[in-house]
């Protein structure tokens, strides 16, 4: 038996594939560690100062891609995860279904990349805004990718996309058909750990195959009857690019709900609100209709986009 340190690069049905040196070890998590990990505390130094109450806040799966772990290696190429090293950050959402559980999508991420297509399926702006809010919450840098630029765009697309550039987000426009945006994309991914996130069928796996010929991740046509993708990628994986960098390709998601964010914190997750000069009349203004609200004024004078403001109202009602 040997003790080594590595990084979880792939997860499939409770098997964790840990890259350690130049090999990949197929690991399980000891049941003792699993129990311990299901009751998390806020990471020190994170925005979340409050330590979570242990009661009922459970994690669906306590080990995520990007986690740095200590393992004991065993027979063949198998091992047991003994310890998870402290995380720099983690990207979580509320697990789908009714129970309040946290789903950790990835840990120790350098950049979150929401990926949407301009058509087939058309962009889900609300989901994008949720993802951006999560990135702000986790204090992870973001770059947005709009893919399938070879297809006809909806009329409002350019105007809406430019809102994000004006806010200050990096945006990359790509097409694997017309070979657009590759250089910028590769430079964004180089030498760091990035995480692709987006609905099914927008082309997350296709983008990786395009950036790295020979990778051959499974991709599939968007269903013709519904225009929705069909969840071709079914497990999470960090792919190493020859150009440098690791990229997480997650299965497509239908919904993305914030995990453990209080409604008073939501205004702080919209940088264009945060950066407005001046103050609202009321110190605890919720920006939903109080008099003397600088956010509402900025929306009325088109300094802040109405769509983003609507997203904000949505998030408050249904985080």
Burial bucket for residue 289 (CB in 10 Å: 0-12, 13-18, 19+)? exposed
One of 89, 117, 175, 233 touching Mg ion (CB under 5 A): 233
**Min CB(3)–ligand GTP separation in Å:** 35
**Min CB(231)–Mg ion separation in Å:** 8
316 binds ligand GTP (CB under 6 A): no
The site map against Zn ion for 252-291 (x = CB under 5 A) is ----------------------------x----x-x----
CA distance 292 to 153: 38
3-class secondary-structure state, position 33? helix
- 212 makes contact, choosing from ligand GTP, Mg ion, Zn ion, none, with CB < 5 to 8 Å by partner type, with none
CA distance 208 to 216: 9
Question: How many degrees, rounded to 5, is the angle at CA 137 between CA 131 and CA 138?
Answer: 90
117 binds Mg ion (CB under 5 A): no
Q: Which is nearer to Zn ion, 210 or 312 (CB)?
A: 312
Q: Which is nearer to Zn ion, 70 or 316 (CB)?
A: 316
Q: List all residues 6 or more positions away from 69 whose beta carbon is below 8 Å from its beta carbon.
A: 5, 6, 7, 8, 16, 18, 27, 63, 81, 82, 83, 84, 85
The site map against ligand GTP for 185-224 (x = CB under 6 A) is ---------------xxxxxxx------------xxxx--
236 binds ligand GTP (CB under 6 A): no
**Min CB(230)–Mg ion separation in Å:** 10
Q: Count the residues of the shown chain that bind ligand GTP, applying the rule CB under 6 A.
A: 24
228 binds ligand GTP (CB under 6 A): no
| Full strand arrangement of the beta sheet holding 101-107 | 58-59, 101-107, 90-94
Q: What is the DSSP letter of 220?
A: -
CA distance 308 to 125: 9
- 150 makes contact, choosing from Zn ion, ligand GTP, Mg ion, none, with CB < 5 to 8 Å by partner type, with ligand GTP
Is 46 in contact with 107 (CB distance < 8 Å)? no
The site map against Mg ion for 195-214 (x = CB under 5 A) is ---------xx---------
147 binds Mg ion (CB under 5 A): no
Considering only CA atoms, give the Rg of the chain: 21
Main-chain phi, psi angles of 310, to 5 degrees: -60, -40
Determine which helix (DSSP H) or strand (DSSP E) holds 58, and give its type and residue range: strand 58-59
Is 92 in contact with 259 (CB distance < 8 Å)? yes
The piece of 25-33, 95-103, 138-146, 169-177 that touches ligand GTP (CB under 6 A) is: 169-177
**Min CB(272)–Zn ion separation in Å:** 13
Q: Which is nearer to Zn ion, 101 or 287 (CB)?
A: 287
Contact set with ligand GTP (CB under 6 A): 147-148, 150-151, 175-177, 200-206, 219-222, 229, 231-233, 251-252
């Amino acid at each position: 038996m040997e003790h080594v340190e590595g990084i979880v690069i792939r997860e499939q049905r409770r098997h964790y594939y840990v890259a350690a040196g130049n090999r990949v070890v197929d690991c399980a998590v000891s049941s003792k560690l699993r129990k311990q990990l299901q009751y998390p505390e806020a990471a020190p130094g994170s925005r979340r100062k409050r330590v979570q109450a242990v009661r009922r806040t459970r994690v669906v799966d306590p080990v995520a891609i990007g986690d740095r772990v200590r393992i004991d290696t065993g027979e063949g190429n198998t091992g047991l995860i003994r310890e998870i090293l402290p995380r720099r950050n983690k990207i979580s959402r509320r697990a789908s279904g009714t129970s309040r559980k946290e789903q950790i999508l990835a840990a120790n991420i350098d950049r979150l990349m929401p990926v949407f297509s301009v058509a087939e399926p058309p962009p889900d702006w609300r989901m994008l805004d949720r993802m951006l809010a999560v990135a702000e919450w986790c204090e992870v840098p973001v770059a947005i990718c709009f893919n399938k630029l070879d297809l006809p765009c909806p009329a409002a697309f350019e105007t809406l996309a430019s809102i994000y550039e004006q806010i200050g987000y990096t945006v990359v426009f790509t097409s694997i058909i017309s070979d657009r945006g590759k250089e910028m994309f590769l430079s964004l991914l180089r030498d760091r750990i990035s995480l692709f996130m987006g609905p099914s069928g927008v082309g997350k796996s296709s983008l990786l195959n395009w950036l790295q010929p020979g990778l051959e991740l499974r991709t599939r046509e968007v269903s013709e009857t519904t225009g929705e993708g069909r969840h071709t990628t079914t497990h999470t994986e960090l792919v190493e690019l020859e150009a440098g960098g690791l990229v997480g390709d997650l299965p497509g998601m239908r919904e993305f709900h914030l995990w453990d964010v209080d409604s008073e914190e939501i205004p702080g997750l919209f940088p264009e609100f945060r950066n407005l000069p001046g103050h609202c009349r009321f110190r605890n203004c919720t920006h939903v209709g109080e008099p003397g609200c600088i956010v509402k004024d900025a929306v009325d004078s088109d300094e802040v986009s109405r769509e983003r403001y609507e997203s904000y109202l949505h998030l408050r009602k249904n985080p």
